[in-house]
Structure 1
Amino acid sequence: MSDAALDRGWRALLRRRTALVGINRRNLDFIHEHNERRYYPLADDKLLAKEALTAAGVRVPRTLAVCGRLADVPDAIERLGGFDEFVVKPARGSGGGGILVAAGRAGAGRWRSAAGGEIGTAELRRHLAEIVFGAYALWGGLGDRALIEERIEPHESLRELWPHGLPDIRVITLEGEPRIAMLRVPTSRSGGRANLHQGGVGVAVDLASGRMSRAVLAGAPIERHPDSGRPLVGVVVPSWAAVIDLARRAARAVPLGYLGVDLVLDRSASPLVLELNVRPGLEIQNVHGRGLAEFLGEEEA
């Protein structure tokens, strides 16, 4: 091998290494550099985020009820008696903690859980109380609000990947522009949740075309869903241009320059924004097999 070829190889390796972003660099160079701390609650609190997104005309799931104190719980449970499906979330939760999904009726005062089993009225009351007391809050100990939303039925093409959960799309934006994206697909191991650290599959999606290019489960590349056997590479996400457009509009709805926008596609292939994240995780680098700074245009010299 010639000296020139060796030099090119070393330079390519150096570029890949400097493009990798660790937690400290993410916090200093991206989160703190592009976001003012006083605006963090607009992403940390799902209810505040929904207010900002709704005001900007960004489509979000319908809110069925909100519990901000224990006195609100009985009314919320009575209201939910009229719904077969719903999702309970802590407003200031993170990483999928505290989310409860009712996927259908299981009898009077009972619902089927998306994770298996059943949810009774007593369990629902207890879960809402735990949220209000702050059991799942990002910072803990300060109390929280329980947000209860409609359950979104995913588009058929995504439901076919694994029908027991809701696949979502994470788009990381910088100064209002989408830079990198991945699809997160639930598995039996993840209990119907799309979070990668709970056993979901991460799928790299090309920002320009919406084509799935690489899939990773627990740090290892795969080509098919571990449960359904459906292909995860070479497939195009429906309505991709609309997904990217909505992610851009969501990012510009709040004064946060570095942001993770989580979206879903409903049955009609129309995108909705589930939530915003001011501290998007770094797993997206492993999913793409490339450093985050390469996509953000901020590689170290």
Structure 2
Amino acid sequence: MRNLQTAARLGSATIAALPGDSMTAVLAANYNGIPATNVLARLVTDLTTNREGAEELARQLNLTAATVLDTAIGTKRFEDEVIGQGVTGRIADGLMRVTGINVWTEGLKRAFSMEFMGTIARQSEHTFEKLDPMFQGFLTRYGFTPADWDKLRVAPHIEADGAKFFDVNAAEDQRLADRLMSAVIDERHFAVVEPDARIRGAMTGGLQRGTIIGEAVRSATQFKSFPMTYMMTHMMRALTQGMANRTYRTTQLALTMTIAGAEMSQMQSLIAGRDPQNMADPRFWEQSFIRGGGGGMLADFIYS
């Protein structure tokens, strides 16, 4: 039944992902001092005219290992868990591939990571004290000291298409470089919101698969891991700032995701052959706030 639900309800997952992912990528980029327009521009270029070149550069930058691992263990963005076996499982998995959601997701991951590596290369010209405040905040959050940065910034760069990228393989202290790559991947989870093992464990309550209660809980919480992940990433980050930053980040988060929800609602109306919704109606913006994720998991349950 869950396989059939996936096949029936997630045919427009890509349409929902386009505006939402663009907004979360912008939020994550701005939070770390990365030019958000560069991320989106690289995404469009890589998915259209430079697919082979982007994949080759990503391999040089060690950005493909996580993608291969994701595919190998069968993790999916909107399906909450590995799709089951059998005919219905293959139908659901095939439909998700046809919609292009996998191509979009991996493309955005790659674009964000590559621009992050480019930012590290550009910032390597400066000492720790003279770094961009947002990028310096990134290093501080993940426990990198000025001495650590001095070791990383002297590593040779990879040059491609007139741009420089940090080369993790060229760092003298490989353990330190691995820590930096781990931090980049952690921040990528904010750009492309995906449920991790912690979220999946919370959504199942630790109940065993194959039991009546365990299967009932999995059915009741199907498609709810995405809003839970959103709450545990962007909303949690906004709420753990200082009071001034908390107000700014929370307002920014609510506005951007409401805009994403509005875009998604209008796109789905047009695709379904309906007229665009009336944007002067307060109910439209209430719906956009909920659908964009601004209302969190409780609002998503109520809306459903």
Coarse TM-score class (shorter-chain normalised): under 0.3
Q: Which has the higher helix share?
A: 2
- Length-normalised TM-score, structure 1: 0.25
